[in-house]
Amino acid sequence: METQTTLTAAMDGPYTPQQRKAIGEALEANRVASGLKVNQLSTMLGWHPSMYSRIIKGTYPGDIDKYLTGAVRWLNDRAEAAAAPAADYVETSIARRIIATCRRAVNRGTIARIEAPSGIGKSMALREFARQRGDRAAYIYAGENYSQRGALVREIALAVCQSAPDHMSSDRLFSRVRDTLRQFYGGGQSAPFAIIVDEAQTLTAASLNTLRNLHDDPACGAAIILAGTARLTFKLQSSHERGQYEQLNSRTRATWSMSETDPIDEADVDAVVAGTLAGLGCKSTLPAASLKFLRRLAGERGKLRNPVNRLRDVADMAEILGVRPTFSVAELDYVATLSGAEQQMVHAEPPFSATARPAAPQPRLATA
């Protein structure tokens, strides 16, 4: 998708004839660049398809500015999303398995369930899959704030339709999402649209069954990917709640799980450490003892997030002190309390070299 010029200065109108023309041209250019059909874009904007050509040409006889305001917001949202920096993605064996499970769900047009502990790079992999799918996927971080049906439907509408007007009820938004998905799928002419819900263990029964309803509509062609912790599987398969989710479970055809006790491959730790150091601009060699220390941290609760946090905390502390970090074991241990962990060594004073200056070469991952 090509980045479009934002039109924030004329966000809410009223618009001059020149502005209306510019908005129409930008909208049509964005539609063509994105490969959207007129019916698809009209549905996303909440317009009747027969209105599209008259609105973008400025010949619509009604209150055209009311429709153009929605178009401007849509264009700006697209431009901001395209301009946002891509999240750092590190390919690990775990990430490959998660992405492969997502692909199976899309290829089969089914529901997928991914279960893994926090800190193994689950969200990173899900966002990367959504990025690869472009306009054919929507990543939604559920969390506690979006566990209820109304909040979830609004998030889905924002992701799928690019807008969710405040005055619309959740039922109307759901209908709009369904219509948009039908336009995308085109009766099987396109691959299924992937709706990826992270932290799905927080969803209520009504929210989960709303997602199932989208999947069950053959005209929508929606693949639903539910990802979360062990609580997700427990919720769906517990004897107490199984009846609520029987239909959802029966439609789940792609699964992958990892338990809290499963070991982390050293190669995955090394890849994450290397990616983190690269993001910090480090260019010199990481001490072998430090790499061993970080591998051990990855085996604790928090998994791969632990070495990432330690490296970033060392870099932050060194910046505060005005020195160059060496990422020694002592430095990595000293900053433990910044992320709520306990120090394993006794430190009489901060183990950062006062003579090392930031201009010196900085560490990178060594082959251990």
Q: pTM of the predicted model, to two decimals? A: 0.76
What is the structure's pLDDT at 30? 85
Decide if domain 93-257 falls under CATH 3.40.1670.10. Answer: no
Q: Which of 304, 305, 307, 325 is nearest to 315 (CA)?
A: 325
pLDDT in tens, 172-201: 999 999 999 998 887 777 889 999 999 999
Positive or negative torsion for Cα 162, 168, 172, 174 = positive
Average pLDDT over residues 54-77: 83
Q: What is the mean pLDDT of the chain?
A: 86
pLDDT in tens, 211-256: 999 999 999 999 999 999 998 988 888 756 656 788 888 889 999 9
| Rounded-to-integer distance, Cα 51 and Cα 45, Å | 11
- Look up the CATH number of domain 8-83: 1.10.260
What is the structure's pLDDT at 8? 47
| Number of separate helices (H) and strands (E) present in the chain | 15, 7
User: What are the tokens at 322?
Assistant: 């005005």
pLDDT in tens, 124-162: 999 999 999 988 899 999 877 777 899 999 999 988 887
The distance from CA 82 to its chain's CA centroid, rounded to whole angstroms, is 14
Q: Which of 263, 268, 290, 265 is nearest to 365 (CA)?
A: 290
CA distances from 195 to 99, 121, 256 (A): 14, 19, 17
Domain boundaries, the chain: 8-83, 93-257, 266-364
